[in-house]
Structure formats: structure tokens, C-alpha cells
Amino acid sequence: MNFGEHLTIDGYGGKEELLDNKNLVLSCLNELPNLLGMRQLSEPMIFHAEDNEIKDPGGWTGVVVIAESHISVHTFPKRGFVTADVYTCRNNMDTDFIVNFFKDKFALKDIETNFIKRGTRYPTNNTS
């Protein structure tokens, strides 16, 4: 038994107009927790990140805190790239559903994922 699961998604070849759509990012952060049966503890927070003239050409960054942990999205419209994290204290995450959710929302052509089991030695009892 592990404490939770963490899925990271790196999406490539997305449509610039979708990745540069603040309302779409906000919609993802409002929709996905409900679709996964998770409970939002806050409204999503969305920020526009400016071009840092190094390697980040700017885009939207958003996060929603859920009772089970968090979901975050970072878009890079000029690169057709998005990163997303879904971290939950639940087990048996439906990774295919989540990957397809982001693939469809941003019209991604290629996706790279990493799946991590978190807290593999999570204590079974309180220490005090």
C-alpha cells in the first residue's frame, strides 16, 4: 500500500490557440476534479507567465487544490507544449482517462507520461 499516486504529463504538438486560452485552462482545472470524483478545496488559480527570454516563451499556469492533493497545468503556446500534474492520495488512478482528457483539450499529437507511487513507506499509525 502506498500513500498516493502522481501522474505527470508532457504534451507535444498542441494547438497554440488552445494552449493560449485562459478559459480553457480554467475549465480543465474545474472539470477534471469533478470527473475524477475529487473535491476542490479552492477555486483554481490562473496566472499568465511572461516570456523569460531564456527558454520559456510564456503561457498560462494554473493550479487547483483538492482534498486529495492538487492538479496543475502549465502551457507553452508558442512551443505547442503543456505540462500537467495530477497528484492524489487515492490509489488506482485512471491514467488513461486523464491522459486522454488533456490530449483532447489541447489537441496534443504526442504525450510523455511518468507515474510515481508516493509514500511507499507511509506509516500505518500516528506517531503521537
Tell me the per-residue pLDDT of 37-81, one tens digit each, with 9 for 90 and over.
999 999 999 999 887 777 767 899 999 999 999 999 999 999 999
User: Which residues lie below 8 Å from residue 59, measured CB to CB, with a gap of 6+?
Assistant: 19, 20, 48, 49, 74, 75, 76, 77, 78
Domain count, the chain: 1
Question: Is this prediction's pTM over 0.85?
Answer: yes
Q: Which sequence positions are flagged as catalytic?
A: 69, 74, 89
Residue 126 lies in a domain: no
Q: Which domain holds residue 54?
A: 4-118
Residue 25 lies in a domain: yes
User: Sheet harboring 45-49: ordered strands across?
Assistant: 45-49, 59-66, 69-76, 81-88, 4-12, 110-118
